[in-house]
Structure 1
């Protein structure tokens, strides 16, 4: 059984205001892309350059910027790359809309072939889709209750890639314990995010 997940959210600014605000905070200039429509987000120059270097089209860059900014506004994180959001104790990497896996943009640009973001050693990782598909949510800070992303109400998958032997745990909305993972490192397990509200990475 799934449940409606209602979370506290910071008030969202308009799409354009949010992107421009992030660009000013990071000291970045923005660039309009040739295929962008009037309601498309302005893409910081350095982020657009990342996308182009990785072989993305202008349409893909604009769509990815929109999705990453949306995710940033929901999580309260800070966008630090075209497809990456920095969180306290972790990060989220977003796939190009329509693709299953998020790109490692730096490695993709360097190798001129698609390289996908991996679950980094020292982290617990979660995905909204089965078999490690969709955006990748990575949390490494121990001793904290990490709230899972909004909308993860069923299905999904996870991997415990913490230091050898460490165990992560799943918790309900009231932080009551649900279950533990096997000791790290593990493979990718399919599961159900429905009853889960928090994860303790270790």
Structure 2
């Protein structure tokens, strides 16, 4: 009798999990693998849809490849997406955690751009020297941390490609910047 109850509970949880993945996939056009990652992480269908919508925006605008529900890989950079109201992106999916920008401190040889003030929210980890577009949706308050090799200066540019700000040499950062005038940047 107990075994039947246990098996019934297991079967019910499998059905609910599959239903959650199906609901998330149907409402937001989420790849089944990514929807399953979100469900396994305890996210609701709405949260899964929110993360996928932000990832879709980055993919349309910047290109790259989505490798997890909340992670997009670009040439030389990684975008990790936080849920609205959360200070840091969550680990979702196997091998999806990239902590080079977590907690407001860029690891050595990294430049981290944060969508929110005080090193919070979705972020772009720029680990290879290059020019990177800043997403159009990043307007208003934001922050950055430059921990590239000693003395490295990053340049922020407007939409005409004119340098509008040069960071102090690494190690430097700004918890209260603004992404509004920044269209792209060279991290090195």
Same fold at TM > 0.5? yes
Does the Cα contact within 8 Å between 1:50 and 1:106 map onto a contact in 2? yes
More strand by share: 2
Indicate yes or no: 2:139 matched with 1:153. yes
Does the Cα contact within 8 Å between 1:172 and 1:198 map onto a contact in 2? yes
In the superposition, the TM-score normalised over structure 1's length comes to 0.67
**Structure 2: gaps (5+ residues):** 1-18
Misfit runs of 4+, over 4 Å: 106-110
**Larger Rg computed on CA atoms:** 2
Aligned to 2:51, the other structure's residue is in SS state helix
Q: Distance in 2 between matches of 1:37 and 1:106?
A: 16
In the superposition, the TM-score normalised over structure 2's length comes to 0.71
Within 5 Å, which residues of 2 pair with 1:37-48? 38-45=26-33, 47-48=34-35
- 1:125 Cα shift? 1.3
Per the alignment, residue 91 of structure 1 pairs with 78
Q: Distance in 2 between matches of 1:191 and 1:64?
A: 24
Does the Cα contact within 8 Å between 2:146 and 2:173 map onto a contact in 1? yes
Aligned to 1:128, the other structure's residue is in SS state strand
Question: Of the candidates 119, 132, 150, which is equivalent to residue 132 of structure 1?
Answer: 119
Aligned to 1:127, the other structure's residue is in SS state strand
Q: 1:36 to 1:146 in 2, by over 3 A?
A: closer
The number of residues matched between the two structures is 167
When the two chains are superposed, the root-mean-square deviation of aligned CA atoms in Å is 3.3
Per the alignment, residue 179 of structure 1 pairs with 165
Q: 1:153 to 1:70 in 2, by over 3 A?
A: closer
Per the alignment, residue 14 of structure 2 pairs with none
Indicate yes or no: 2:63 matched with 1:76. yes
- 1:74 Cα shift? 2.4
**Structure 1: gaps (5+ residues):** 1-30
- 1:90 Cα shift? 0.6
Per the alignment, residue 51 of structure 2 pairs with 64
Per the alignment, residue 24 of structure 1 pairs with none
Does the Cα contact within 8 Å between 2:101 and 2:125 map onto a contact in 1? no
| More displaced stretch, 153-162 vs 93-102 | 93-102
Q: Distance in 2 between matches of 1:77 and 1:109?
A: 15
More helix by share: 2
Per the alignment, residue 101 of structure 1 pairs with 88
Summarize deviations over 1:63-87 as a string: whole Å, max 9, x none. 3233322322222221011110011
Aligned to 1:125, the other structure's residue is in SS state strand
- 1:197 Cα shift? 2.0
